[in-house]
Structure 1
Amino acid sequence: MTSASSSPKKAVKKTAEKTTSRNAPTPKTAGIQFSAKVIDPVKYATQCLVVGVYEGLKLSPAASSVDAADAHQLIALLKREGFQGKAGQSLLLLNPQGIAADRLLVLGFGSQKDGSVSVDNFRRVVQKISESLKPTPCTEITVALDDVSVTGQEADWQARQIAESLGQLEYRADHLKSKPAEISLQLKKVQVGTTKNLIAKATKGLALGLAIAQGINLTRKLGDLPGNICTPTYLAEQAKQLAKDRAKLNVNVLEEKQMKELGMGSFLSVAAGSEQPAKLIVLEYKGGNKKDAPVALVGKGITFDTGGISLKPGPAMDEMKYDMCGAASVLGTFRTLVELQLPINVVGVIATTENMPSGAATKPGDIVTSMSGLTIEILNTDAEGRLVLCDALTYTERFKPKAVVDIATLTGACVIALGNHATGLFSNDDDLAKSLLKAGEESADRAWQMPLWDEYQKQLDSNFADIANIGGREAGSVTAACFLSRFTKKFAWAHLDIAGTAWRSGGAKGATGRPVPLLVQYLLNQA
């Protein structure tokens, strides 16, 4: 038996990457400015005024003002166009009469219950704004939706939804094209109407929504980058850049030599076949009291996953650049943290490497020794995420965290179980699980708790080592979580399997930025 941390690697010489952030094109952002102000929807000059209508053509107060200013032509136009006010309906009117706005965007909010619309309907409708305005050259808009009452929510929540949705327009996925597509909608300014006594509340909500959008955008950017640019070294550079001039954030990057000294044989066994040097990126955000135990976020950062010697099939292998979305979501969450300056201590640990086949690569049947001392029989080199995460989780013990959440595109089995709607959640602590589920509901970035029963642990038995790295076809996402649970006995821990939620395939291929909203909401609730 040999440990990967002590086995020689003569066949592969690792060097720093040739492509770095200095020559990787940087996407240009729109730099949208959000503000809350008191407006008169009839007299306020803007390129586009956004108002709401409820099911049954019941106009909101702002829409009623517009209708009255135009001799009730608005209601006549809505009837002519078959607009009924159902949730998600939209109608863009050019050169509206009687008001100062150049355009009028009418959004349907669906039915009201006790004078309010549902949280889900409000979110769905707000996301329609950018889609409806795509054909226009608008650079600034005014959203007069403050008079739309939302069940259980106030002005800050509504403003947050607007900024979180529209703030994502700052990210462009086509910045590596020689000629990026021309788009007409390039918003520079968004004004949100409110009342005088609610300006401070709405402004706070806008700041929170924009900060979350910036975290999502960073996560999407890193996820969408190809593996020849977004390498472990690149991720380390991005972490250092994030900490630049940030007094509360410190970043330390451990190299392979240091990992070997720590006994991270499991992590290094995955890195064995790659010419790119592996990195363990450690972020420490100190926004709370010194004595407060931190929350730890641990991200899987496989910047490209070929499967190693257990080679993946060719179709859709390009999407394995997304196997670092767990790491990307940790960096995105820290981006939001530093923007908001939350009064909380948070540690981020990112285990990042490539998983490549070569003469030096780990072979099926090899046995390695993890940092915890447990030996692992590697039956499938494509089950590599758990091999890097187990050492990262053991390393995290030194911070004495009050809770640890790992985020990983870990198993295809989770996609089969939950599709792309919910993130799989596993935990050894009921309170932590409930907190994360609650945060998922509040942020519309939902998770679903899966079992972590002792009965599943038997599938990981090995004749030759303490544990095998796979447990067979049955319950693959569960046995993967069971594997990780062997390394989390000293703290409250939850595992988020984001294999189905981190990116989309097909014509809409691209990173989603999940679960940044869930993680940020969880930290907000903790703070």
Structure 2
Amino acid sequence: MDFDLQTLDLRGAADVAVDALIVAWPDGLTADAADGALAAWIGQALHDGDLGTEAGHWLAGHRVSGVAARRVVVVRCGDGSARRLRQAVAAAWGALQAAAPRTLALLLPRAEEAAVTAAVLTIAEASYRYTTTLSDPKPRALRRVVVGVPQAAALRQAFDWAVATVHGQELAKEWANRPANHARPADLAEAAQALAGPGLEVEVLGPKEVERLGMGALLAVARGSREPLRFIVLRYRGAPKREAPVVLVGKGITFDTGGISLKPAAEMDEMKFDMSGAAAVLGVFAALARLRPVLNVVGLIPACENMPGGAAVKPGDVVRSLSGQTIEILNTDAEGRLILCDALTYAQRFKPRAIVDVATLTGACVIALGGVRSGLFASDDVLAQTLLEAGEAAQDPCWRLPLDEDYAEALKSRFADVANVGGRPAGAVTAAKFLQRFAGAVPWAHLDIAGTAWKGGKDKGATGRPVPLLVRWLLQQAPARPRRERRGARA
């Protein structure tokens, strides 16, 4: 989908030849007929009380005289905040969806950075369609979106960020939405290799290389499946080599049966989403390739299935991780932390300035935070605060949870250095405490996205979170790069 940012007012928007035009109308704005046909039509609707007063209320017109767009929807957006604008754009798109417009103009008469970001992300989310495994797919009809603002140059950076984020988020959705037989570890590796290009290198390790390295925890989880594991290493180089990188680690369990500790059958199909952390890392690197920030980033994706085969690891087994620490596997359904712990140890070789892992790790986090905020755990207060701020700015929020050392007591084992579970109480916290053992002294954060990575029910599907949070956070870590003015962008 193409996005184009233009300087437009009501008069200019009336001349844009598109299938549909959405005008997001904030409180307190007036429409003067002297500003042209579109302003006159909106002004009359306001005068007659046809537009309502609440954010999300809309009025549609067809072939409005003097307006080039075939359909026009003016929608209330309240105070114009990102939240209200998301609500308004989603409502307006709902009014247009049946018409399946191929081209759309979205006019934001009062636009700030957050408004532009919200508008782009919302229209992309609302129009997204998964088609890969459908026999008669109906692809996304919307092909081009013109975003009109009072001063395009002032909002170019926010617009470029939003478009790159859409690109990354949709890649993450694509891979998380695919059924497990269409998203095997080898398929994830191929998706990563497809991202390779100038400044972005990809290396893929197989079972033999992983065994030689000594990643016993990852190997243990992969043992029960016929699908060979992959350990994917992505390197984005936007700064000199001497600059320490940020390392992102994404959990890549392409299907999770629970292993010998088998999950209940109900809703087990949703365990194809258990590689959403890996999908998010792929999405972030796709966005980095477009934005080209001045920093170095490494992505690590341990990818495998968790199956109950004859060779599968058993409850009570003890394995040796890459760090040398031994782990008593009390529950094979706590497998994500096992593959992540080896990746966290591997991350140390890059001498990173920070490590952030992303994982659909615990049902306990869903109980704690639901589907609104991702869980955040961090060993460093500054790192935690910057991630929290990036989440708010990106409209992809998280919430910090504790890491008190007392929680580690639950992970003690008589037969190994540590157990992989600590019981039901504070399950999200004890999982994070397990991971912290392998993060070393580097500032480290863990995002538990079990509640935010996908939706169930009639809206079942991946959300692509936390790609917006991570992209915004990475850009905040990088010094500004001189930019060339560009007219449009493609997502």
Same fold by TM-score greater than 0.5: yes
Q: CA deviation at 1:472?
A: 0.7
Query: Aligned runs of 1:162-181 on 2, under 5 Å?
Result: 162-168=119-125, 171-181=128-138
Q: CA deviation at 1:138?
A: 2.1
Q: CA deviation at 1:506?
A: 0.6
Q: Which residue of 2 aligns with 1:34?
A: 4
Tell me which moved more, 393-402 or 97-106: 97-106
Q: Deviations along 1:365-385, whole A, 9 cap, x unmatched?
A: 100111111111110000000
Q: Which residue of 1 aligns with 2:482?
A: none
Q: Which residue of 1 aligns with 2:145?
A: 190
Give the Cα–Cα distance (whole angstroms) in 2 for the partners of residues 465 and 325 of structure 1: 30
Q: CA deviation at 1:168?
A: 4.0
Give the Cα–Cα distance (whole angstroms) in 1 for the partners of residues 104 and 291 of structure 2: 25
Q: CA deviation at 1:232?
A: 0.5
**Contact 1:208/1:340, CA 8 A, preserved across alignment:** yes
Query: Aligned runs of 1:485-504 on 2, under 5 Å?
Result: 485-504=436-455
In the alignment, structure 1 residue 271 sits paired with structure 2 residue 243: no
Tell me which moved more, 437-446 or 207-216: 207-216
Q: Deviations along 1:390-428, whole A, 9 cap, x unmatched?
A: 000000000001000000000001101111111001111
Give the Cα–Cα distance (whole angstroms) in 2 for the partners of residues 442 and 375 of structure 1: 40
Identity percentage of aligned residues: 47
**Contact 1:253/1:280, CA 8 A, preserved across alignment:** yes
SS of 1:267's equivalent in the other structure is helix
Q: CA deviation at 1:54?
A: 3.9
Q: Deviations along 1:275-297, whole A, 9 cap, x unmatched?
A: 11111100000011221110100
Paired residue for 1:439, among 387, 390, 395?
A: 390
Q: CA deviation at 1:214?
A: 0.8
Q: CA deviation at 1:174?
A: 3.3
SS of 1:495's equivalent in the other structure is strand
Q: CA deviation at 1:109?
A: 1.5
Q: Which residue of 1 aligns with 2:323?
A: 372
**Contact 1:223/1:322, CA 8 A, preserved across alignment:** yes
Q: CA deviation at 1:182?
A: 7.3
SS of 2:195's equivalent in the other structure is helix
Give the Cα–Cα distance (whole angstroms) in 1 for the partners of residues 403 and 148 of structure 2: 48
SS of 1:273's equivalent in the other structure is coil
Paired residue for 2:75, among 97, 100, 107?
A: 107
Q: CA deviation at 1:263?
A: 1.2
Normalising by structure 2, we get a TM-score of: 0.92
**Contact 2:24/2:85, CA 8 A, preserved across alignment:** no
Q: CA deviation at 1:139?
A: 1.8
Q: Which residue of 2 aligns with 1:143?
A: 106
The letter for the 1-side match of 2:416 is A
Normalising by structure 1, we get a TM-score of: 0.86
Paired residue for 1:211, among 144, 151, 164?
A: 164
Query: Aligned runs of 1:41-440 on 2, under 5 Å?
Result: 41-55=13-27, 59=30, 65-66=36-37, 69-70=40-41, 73-76=44-47, 79=49, 81=50, 83-110=51-78, 112=79, 117-145=80-108, 147-149=109-111, 153-154=112-113, 157-168=114-125, 171-181=128-138, 186-195=141-150, 198-243=151-196, 246-440=197-391
SS of 1:347's equivalent in the other structure is strand
**Contact 2:82/2:115, CA 8 A, preserved across alignment:** no
**Contact 2:116/2:159, CA 8 A, preserved across alignment:** yes
**Contact 1:171/1:221, CA 8 A, preserved across alignment:** no
| RMSD (Å) for aligned C-alpha atoms | 2.1
SS of 2:182's equivalent in the other structure is coil
The letter for the 1-side match of 2:117 is R
**Contact 2:42/2:74, CA 8 A, preserved across alignment:** no
Tell me which moved more, 346-355 or 172-181: 172-181
**Contact 2:3/2:147, CA 8 A, preserved across alignment:** no
Give the Cα–Cα distance (whole angstroms) in 1 for the partners of residues 274 and 35 of structure 2: 50
Tell me which moved more, 171-180 or 353-362: 171-180
Give the Cα–Cα distance (whole angstroms) in 2 for the partners of residues 171 and 192 of structure 1: 18
Give the Cα–Cα distance (whole angstroms) in 2 for the partners of residues 324 and 71 of structure 1: 47
Q: Deviations along 1:49-77, whole A, 9 cap, x unmatched?
A: 32233458x5357997546645954335x
Paired residue for 2:456, among 482, 500, 505?
A: 505
Distance change >3 Å, CA 36–CA 43, structure 1 → 2: closer
Q: Which residue of 2 aligns with 1:525?
A: 476
Q: Deviations along 1:329-376, whole A, 9 cap, x unmatched?
A: 000000000011111100000011000011111010100111111111
Q: Deviations along 1:224-268, whole A, 9 cap, x unmatched?
A: 10111101100001100111xx11001111111111111111111
Give the Cα–Cα distance (whole angstroms) in 2 for the partners of residues 69 and 171 of structure 1: 33
Give the Cα–Cα distance (whole angstroms) in 2 for the partners of residues 219 and 137 of structure 1: 24
**Contact 1:85/1:109, CA 8 A, preserved across alignment:** no
Give the Cα–Cα distance (whole angstroms) in 1 for the partners of residues 271 and 181 of structure 2: 12
Tell me which moved more, 395-404 or 86-95: 86-95
Distance change >3 Å, CA 412–CA 188, structure 1 → 2: same
Q: CA deviation at 1:141?
A: 2.1
- Number of aligned positions between the proteins: 476
Give the Cα–Cα distance (whole angstroms) in 2 for the partners of residues 210 and 169 of structure 1: 15
The letter for the 1-side match of 2:30 is L
Distance change >3 Å, CA 62–CA 269, structure 1 → 2: farther
Q: CA deviation at 1:96?
A: 1.8
Tell me which moved more, 96-105 or 431-440: 96-105
Distance change >3 Å, CA 71–CA 308, structure 1 → 2: closer
Distance change >3 Å, CA 451–CA 60, structure 1 → 2: farther
Distance change >3 Å, CA 487–CA 182, structure 1 → 2: closer
Tell me which moved more, 60-69 or 368-377: 60-69
In the alignment, structure 1 residue 476 sits paired with structure 2 residue 427: yes
**Contact 1:165/1:213, CA 8 A, preserved across alignment:** no
Q: CA deviation at 1:36?
A: 1.5
SS of 1:86's equivalent in the other structure is coil
Gaps of 5+ in 2: 479-491
